[in-house]
Amino acid sequence: MLKWPRAILLAMGVVLSTSTFAADMRIGFVDTERILREASPAVRAAKKIEREFDPRKSDLQKISAQGKALQQLLDKGTLAEADRRIKERELIKMNQDFQRMQREFNEDMNTRRNEELSGLQERVNSAIAQIATSEKYDLILQEVAWRSPRIDITDKVLKLLMDK
């Protein structure tokens, strides 16, 4: 009869009981990035933010076009020295204003996006909890290094969010 050291037998028991436990566990995965791209509420929120920020985006594009036109005028070299200095100062001021407006635009847009996404995240978590409860999942993960497609329940979550 072969004698096994006690530590190995204990380790084997842990592995066996862990694998038995894991076999009884029901695990699911939700692709959060996909939800944020494809969920109806996320698409609506993105369009809403886009409409909200379109006027400011247009203003930035106009200022950018004016700056380019002014730069082209300066590049031609047809201006008198005094006019050239005035236009250069004007271009510097326009560039500073443009950069400030662009920075504020990006900050405001990110703030709005985060506001909308926080509301969406609550709805996503609620949908996940509803699926977990009704289908008796033990664990649902959102961020993992790798997952098998057979545990992906993202489509179910998208479907639940579509109804809301």
Residues 6+ apart with CB under 8 A from 26: 135, 136, 137, 138, 139
Average pLDDT for the chain: 88
Q: How many CA atoms lie within 13 A of 63 on its CB side?
A: 19
- Distance, in Å, from the CA atom of 102 to the CA atom of 107, rounded to the nearest integer, reads 9
- Looking at residue 42, its amino acid is A
Q: How confident is the model at residue 120 (pLDDT cuts 50, 70, 90)?
A: very high
- Distance, in Å, from the CA atom of 44 to the CA atom of 37, rounded to the nearest integer, reads 11
**Average confidence (pLDDT) over 18-24:** 58
**For 37-61, what is each residue's pLDDT tens digit?**
999 999 999 999 999 999 999 999 9
pLDDT at 119 over 60: yes
CB atoms within 10 A of CB 29: 20
% of the chain with per-residue pLDDT over 90: 76
pTM listed for this prediction: 0.69
